[in-house]
């Protein structure tokens, strides 16, 4: 009986002492120290006997930024390419010339031709399109033409005209560009970013067109897949002068 009372008294004293200690310990909120490194995450640590702020070195913060950037890059896993971060070819940034070469600006020039007025003649070697006006003259525009391997020549008629046309890349082009890692959209609505530009004149039953472009710096170059491209302001001017049924001669 005495042992039981002594044990009970000892436990009560210990509990009272612990409660008093806890009361003293948590009487006030412990101070908080914030990391002064503005490049580090917002990390706080309670200050104790050996308390100190938790600071991430600036180099580590920069390294985390690199890792985050890498996570946003396209990833190849088992031959499967993540297209979610791939920009369509039509919208990729291109080097921009400060101005177009003067010879490629629209102008009326002397031009002898057996073709009647209203005929379009395209000189792919010199990158010029002529609209015959008669009396030994023609209105000349600069154009972009087919790149090596995509050149062609022949005669066709304008069979359709379209303003701000949409673009459906041919399956052959989609396959060809995919092999290079460039993924084309299945279809693109007409607009300033569309590679067909402001106007299009379709030639015969072919896939070739005379059209505008979202890359005016390419005028005077051999860069297309066979189409004849013009500056948007120039193709709009030509569009108003040409009717369906117009003869087009490509040399």
Nearest CA to 128 out of 238, 10, 30, 15 is that of: 238
Does the structure show a pLDDT above 60 at 227? yes
Report the run of H or E that residue 202 belongs to, with start and end: strand 199-203
Contact (CB, 8 A) for 203 and 228? no
- Other CB atoms within a 10 A radius of the CB of residue 162 amount to 16
Q: Is 211 a catalytic residue?
A: yes
What's the Cα-to-Cα distance from 213 to each of 48, 75, 183, 197, rounded to whole Å?
Answer: 68, 31, 19, 4
Instruction: Give the C-alpha separation, 151 to 144, whole Å.
Output: 11
The one catalytic residue among 23, 156, 182, 211:
211
Dihedral of alpha carbons 90, 219, 199, 234, sign: positive
What domains lie within the chain, and their CATH numbers?
A: 102-250 (2.40.440.10)
Average predicted confidence (pLDDT) for the chain = 75
DSSP state for residue 150 in the 8-state scheme: -
Alpha-carbon gap, residue 51 to 54, rounded angstroms: 9
Per DSSP, which regions of the chain are E strands? Answer: 32-34, 44-46, 76-77, 80-81, 107-110, 120-123, 128-134, 137-142, 145-146, 154-163, 199-203, 209-211, 222-224, 228-229, 247-250
Residue 177 has pLDDT above 70, yes or no: yes
Average the pLDDT over 235-242 and give the result: 97
Q: What integer pLDDT is reported at residue 77 of this predicted model?
A: 43
Between 1 and 164, the higher pLDDT residue: 164
Half-sphere exposure of 150 (CA within 13 A, CB side): 17
pLDDT for the residue 31: 52
Residue 25: how many other CB atoms lie within 10 Å: 9
pLDDT computed for residue 216 by the predictor: 93
Query: pLDDT tens digits for 4-32?
Result: 444 444 545 554 555 444 455 545 555 54
Give counts: helices (H), strands (E), the chain: 4, 15
Q: Which is the catalytic residue, given 23, 156, 182, 227?
A: 227
Summarised one tens digit per residue, pLDDT across range 199-221 is 999 999 999 999 999 999 999 99
Residue 22 DSSP SS3: helix
Whole-number pLDDT of residue 106: 97
Least confident of 46-50, 119-123, 237-241: 46-50
Q: Which letter does DSSP use for residue 172 in this model?
A: H
Residues 6 or more apart whose Cβ sits within 8 Å of residue 61: 37, 39, 40, 41
Give, in order, the Cα–Cα distances in Å from 70 to each of 41, 75, 84, 181, 183: 19, 9, 14, 18, 20
pLDDT at 85 over 90: no
Higher-confidence position of 98 and 176: 176
182 is catalytic: no
**What's residue 12's pLDDT?**
52
- What is the per-residue pLDDT for 172? 82
The percentage of residues in the chain with a pLDDT greater than 90, rounded to a whole number, is 48
């Amino acid at each position: 009986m005495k042992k039981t009372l002594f044990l009970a008294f000892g436990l009560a004293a210990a509990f009272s002492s612990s409660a008093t200690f806890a009361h003293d310990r948590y009487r006030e909120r412990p101070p908080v120290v914030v990391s002064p490194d503005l490049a580090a995450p917002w990390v706080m640590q309670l200050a104790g006997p050996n308390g100190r702020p938790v600071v991430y070195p600036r180099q580590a913060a920069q390294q985390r930024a690199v890792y985050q950037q890498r996570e946003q890059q396209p990833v190849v896993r088992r031959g499967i390419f993540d297209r979610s971060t791939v920009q369509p070819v039509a919208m990729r940034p291109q080097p921009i010339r400060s101005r177009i070469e003067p010879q490629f600006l629209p102008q009326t020039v002397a031009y002898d031709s057996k073709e009647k007025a209203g005929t379009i003649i395209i000189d792919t070697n010199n990158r010029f399109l002529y609209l015959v006006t008669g009396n030994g003259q023609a209105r000349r525009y600069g154009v972009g033409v087919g790149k090596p391997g995509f050149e062609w020549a022949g005669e066709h008629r304008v069979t359709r005209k379209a303003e701000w046309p949409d673009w459906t890349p041919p399956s052959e082009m989609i396959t060809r560009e995919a092999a290079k890692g460039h993924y084309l959209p299945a279809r693109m609505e007409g607009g300033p970013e569309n590679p067909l530009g402001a106007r299009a004149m379709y030639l015969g039953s072919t896939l070739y067109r005379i059209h505008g472009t979202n890359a005016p710096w390419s005028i005077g170059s051999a860069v297309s897949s066979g189409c004849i491209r013009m500056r948007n302001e120039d193709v709009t001017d030509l569009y108003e002068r040409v009717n369906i049924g117009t003869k087009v001669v490509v040399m």
